[in-house]
């Protein structure tokens, strides 16, 4: 069911510093910061030949990554995103398998303007998983 690893998201307290580190020290291609007020984050995309890393900094008062950064002030890996062909079929299969889908279970438009769902980390070995319709 799951397809490509779309991205690994890393929450960071200082996007400029993280971006410079990936660009200058690790020698990767990084995008300009892209504010996504509807998602409560500003994102920098780190392009790799086979996937991408997304560096996320909280934006606004109710950022979904603020609690994670409060627990992990230096930042850290926040979630992985797997692509699926049919997000409703994926959701139904997951629920039938006993996995919990976060929120009301209805896909929302994610940061790439594609339907996404998040799965409960407790059902997936402590890992927050995003599913994105490819």
CB of 32: closest distance to a second copy in angstroms?
18
29, 32, 83, 130: the catalytic one is 130
> Which C-beta is closer to a second copy: that of 2 or that of 38?
2
Phi–psi pair at 100, nearest 5 degrees: -90, 130
Task: Establish whether 106 is a catalytic residue.
Answer: no
Element (H or E) spanning 18, and its range? helix 15-20
> Total residues at the site for a second copy (CB under 8 A)?
43
* Residue 66 binds a second copy (CB under 8 A): no
Site string for a second copy, 12-51 (x = CB under 8 A): xx---xx--x--xxxxx-------------------xxxx
Element (H or E) spanning 60, and its range? none
* Residue 5 binds a second copy (CB under 8 A): yes
Tell how strand 108-109 and strand 52-58 pair up: unpaired
Instruction: For residues 52 and 47, give the distance between their C-alpha atoms in angstroms, rounded to a whole number.
Output: 5
Cβ neighbours of residue 63 closer than 8 Å, sequence gap 6 or more: 40, 41
Residues 76-105 that bind a second copy (CB under 8 A): 76-77, 80, 82, 93-94, 97-99
Q: Which residues are catalytic?
A: 130
């Amino acid at each position: 069911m799951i397809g490509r690893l779309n991205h690994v998201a890393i929450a960071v307290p200082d996007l400029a510093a993280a971006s410079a580190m990936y660009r200058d020290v690790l020698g990767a291609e990084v995008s300009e910061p892209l504010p996504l007020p509807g998602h409560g984050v500003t994102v920098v995309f780190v392009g790799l030949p086979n996937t991408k890393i997304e560096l996320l900094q909280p934006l606004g008062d109710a950022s979904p990554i603020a609690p994670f950064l409060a627990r992990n002030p230096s930042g850290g890996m926040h979630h992985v995103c797997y692509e699926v062909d049919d997000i409703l079929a994926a959701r139904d299969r997951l629920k039938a398998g006993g996995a919990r889908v976060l929120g009301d279970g209805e896909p929302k438009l994610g940061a790439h303007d594609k339907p996404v769902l998040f799965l409960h980390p407790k059902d997936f070995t402590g890992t927050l998983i995003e599913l994105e319709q490819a």
